[in-house]
Chains A and B, each alone.
Chain A
Amino acid sequence: MRIAKVLAVFAVLLALGTVTVAEGGQVLLNAAGATFPYPMYSKWFDVYRQAHPNIQINYQSIGSGGGIRQLLDKTVDFGASDGPMNDDQLKQASVPILHFPTVMGADVPSYNVPGVSAELNFTPEALAGIFLGKITKWNDPAIVSANSGVKLPADDIVVVHRSDGSGTTYIWTDYLSKISPEWQTKVGKATSVNWPVGLGGKGNEGVAGLIQQTPDSLGYIELIYAIQNKIAYGRVKNSSGAFVKADLASVSAAAAATAKFMPDDFRVSITNPEGKAAYPIASFTWLLIPSKFSDTAKRDAVKDFLKWMMTDGQQYCEGLAYAKLPKEVVVKEMKAVGKIE
């Protein structure tokens, strides 16, 4: 905690060093948190500033954990996180914190099996078994039965996972916890977990590099990273029994499927949703906004930005390969903006 404070003070000093707040009508908002949505946020903040030259938002992509800590220490005006804050963390906040889903991320299974060029299908049971270390061969019946016509070798599967704490790992372990009771009790969900098997790569690029270099490997990477780097990935069976390939449409479908169950605080997991078209390993990422601002100029700026983001801002999503927010979710979030005082 104290370390976080020191870091946060440093970050604020840096920010203050470059911009002075005092100019007439200038509003400077400091924010920190998740790295995964950073390309989207940075585009939004940039476009928004061009339309509103008096409002500047400084966003430090230091990671979700750091974002939450700085928000609780009140060294930033708002935070951002790939996983929702838990009840303990919410209790530590001096004013209630509101969650606003912004964009969606998804994890895809990527693999390197020599001699196999077909797109492989993965069942939830196969993925859980492989990552628990129970399914060790590529020609295990659990994999073969979902891939008729593909000749899979009798080689050992080399599991690859993220070594750094990340929202990508949170989505993957959240999904495995939902579909496998054994995973939930043995491992659980978090940004870093105690992996039963496998090699760790740092960042999406580390995991992708290991997969590319290691024959018979299987790992998970962020969908957007896979799309941008043209990395092949497999289909995953959803709760309706359909094998779905991750793309912007199937990720949006997952979010839409959960919209009707959306709790008022938006802390929802959308992994393994209903719906034939929904991709099962996806998640929202959130902005964490305090419900009370002492500075009215800051409050109005935040509220205005949120409204803009959910309306005009959405047109920039697909250009950066992020899925748009489903309409149902936008309607609900617009109402929640009114809660900010």
Chain B
Amino acid sequence: MATTPNATTPAELGWSPQALLRRMRGADEIAHLITFIAAATLLLITVLLVFQLWVHSAEARAKFGWTFFVTRTWDPVAGDFGALPFIYGTLVTSAVALVIAVPLGVGAAIFLAELAPPKLSSSLTFVSDLLAAVPSVIYGLLGVFLLVPLMRKTVQPALKSTLGFLPLFKGPTYGIGFLTAGIVLAIMVVPFVLSVSREVLLAVPRDQREAALALGATKWESTWKVVVPAARIGIFGSVFLALARALGETMAVTMVVGNNPMISASLFSPGYSIAAVLANEFSEATGNLYLSALIELGLVLFLLTFVLNGLARLLILVTTARGSGVLPS
């Protein structure tokens, strides 16, 4: 009945294909539907992803419970698994990457958006976009063959002799480890920070710059005190994009991080990250518990990204509520 063409009641009219088609005739409706489907697909993929990770990690979750997060052992032979060294390694390498990449990327973005001549700006932006497209395994190879020897022979001994009193720079210098992985990651995420930051800086209205200049501000004052604060939220956004990329990077990290599940305060020491251990051990993992522990690691990585992103949003909320992100008084 509901699909007969001669339906007469209003309810049937509303849901019959003809009625639906009639209502859809407007281009607006169709565009609405298509974009809605696109957005819903994104959500669906995320939900499915978490659901799959959750279901397939059941065995490991049942066996280890919350201790999975604090156990330091990863022993496939004895079937004893813990995520702590991998969580630690993921966080440390990403933190090192951001500490290096954010000042570099934002600094370069300010130069390109505000200070550089247009020709130079567009060619440098092109180079940066090019860097973002380089496959990560290339960065890994560069890391292994160029950065690692340089770190072992020059950078690490220099850090050790000058800042060696800090626990961060102690221990044997292998050349690979947290610091090297962090630097490779930094090189990989700089283009993201730069590209997004530059766009948001350029989006700050011209009036604001002109107003600041009219009030007697120098070029630098107008940039630093007016334009950058106005673009603050967008710059934060670029940093979180970079962080997400750093957390999940696999190939380049596994090639230079040392792949040893260790927790050490020294940045010279080898470590391991969640993405790297998944790439290394998944294909040869036999036994259901082993496999399910690896999948739980995937879940942990997802959770980590989720929590960090949440914290980031909170940070934006707090800072914008206070200063509303425009002119500091």
Instruction: Please list the residues of chain A having a beta carbon within 8 angstroms of any beta carbon in chain B.
Output: 1-4, 62-66, 68-69, 89, 156, 158, 163-166, 187-195, 198-202, 206, 209-210, 213-214
Q: CA–CA, A209 to B258, complex, Å?
A: 12
Chain B residues within 8 Å of A199, by CB: 174, 176, 258-260, 270
Cβ–Cβ contact A188 & B284, under 8 A? no
For A156, the chain B residues whose CB sits under 8 A away are 172
A3 cross-chain contacts in B, Cβ below 8 A: 52, 56, 291, 295
B222-261 contacts to A, CB under 8 A, are 254-255, 258-260
Q: What distance in Å separates the Cβ of B281 from its nearest Cβ neighbour in chain A?
A: 5
Contacts A156-B172, A202-B255, A206-B255 hold; do A192 and B295 have CB atoms under 8 A apart? no
Q: How far is the CB of B310 from chain A (nearest CB, A)?
A: 28
Given known contacts A3-B56, A62-B283, A190 and B260 CB-to-CB distance under 8 angstroms: no
Q: Is the CB of B281 within 8 A of A165?
A: yes
**CB-defined contacts of A190 to chain B, threshold 8 Å:** 76-77
B149 nearest in chain A by CB position: A213
Contacting residues, chain B, for A1 (C-beta < 8 A): 288, 291
Q: Does B280 lie at the interface of the complex (its beta carbon under 8 Å from any beta carbon of A)?
A: yes
Chain B residues, CB < 8 A from A164: 279-281, 283-284
- B binding-site residues for A, Cβ under 8 Å: 52, 55-56, 73-78, 144-145, 148-149, 152, 172, 174-176, 254-255, 258-260, 270, 272, 276, 279-281, 283-286, 288, 291, 295
With A188-B77, A194-B74, A202-B255 in contact, is A210–B280 under 8 Å at CB?
Answer: no
Q: In the assembled complex, which residues on chain B have CB atoms less than 8 Å from the CB atom of A4?
A: 291
Looking at A89, A163, A187, A194, the one whose CB has the most chain B CB atoms below 10 A away is: A163
State in angstroms the CA–CA spacing of A195 and B73 once bound together. 10
Residue of B nearest to A69 (CB): B286
7 contacts between A and B (CB under 8 A): A63-B283, A165-B76, A192-B76, A194-B75, A200-B259, A209-B144, A213-B149
Q: How far apart sit A206 and B77, CA to CA, in the bound complex (Å)? A: 23
Closest Cβ neighbor of B251 among chain A residues: A202
Given contacts A206-B255, A209-B144, contact A2 B56 (CB under 8 A): yes
Residues of A within 8 Å of B176, CB to CB, are: 199, 210
Q: Is the CB of A64 within 8 A of B284?
A: yes
Closest to B261 in A: A194
Shortest beta-carbon distance from B98 to chain A in Å: 25
C-alpha gap A200/B271 in the complex (Å): 9
A210 to chain B, nearest CB (A): 7
Besides the known contacts A192-B280, A213-B148, 6 further A-B residue pairs in the complex with CB atoms under 8 A apart: A65-B284, A158-B174, A163-B254, A164-B283, A202-B259, A214-B175
Which residues does chain A contribute within 8 Å of B78, judged by CB atoms? 188, 194
How many angstroms between the C-alpha atoms of A4 and B284 in the bound complex? 12
Asked if A63 and B284 make an inter-chain contact with CB atoms under 8 angstroms apart, the answer reads yes
Q: Separation in Å of the A75 CB from the closest CB of chain B?
A: 16
* List of 6 A-B pairs having minimum Cβ-Cβ separation, nearest first: A165-B284, A200-B259, A163-B259, A63-B283, A188-B77, A194-B75
Q: B76 to chain A: which residues have CB within 8 Å?
A: 165, 190-194
Q: Complex Cα distance A62/B284, Å? A: 8
Q: Which residues of B contact A63 (CB under 8 A)?
A: 283-284
Residues of A within 8 A of B281 (CB): 164-165, 192
Contacts of A213 in B (CB 8 A): 144, 148-149, 152, 175
Q: Is the CB of A89 within 8 A of B286?
A: yes
A161 smallest CB distance to B (angstroms)? 9
State whether A200 and B284 are in contact (beta carbons under 8 Å apart), knowing that A1-B291, A213-B175 are contacts in the complex: no
Distance in angstroms between the alpha carbons of A62 and B282 in the assembled complex: 10
Contact between B283 and A195, CB atoms less than 8 A apart: no
Q: Which residue of A lies closest to B75 (CB)?
A: A194
For A68, list chain B residues within 8 Å (CB). Answer: 286
- In the complex the two chains form, what is the Cα distance from A213 to B148 in whole Å? 8
Determine how close the nearest CB of chain A comes to the CB of B141; give it in whole angstroms: 9
**C-alpha spacing A194/B176, complex, angstroms:** 20
Task: Tell me the complex Cα distance, A35–B77, Å.
Answer: 21
Output the least CB separation between A17 and chain B (Å): 22
B283, A165: Cβ atoms closer than 8 Å = yes
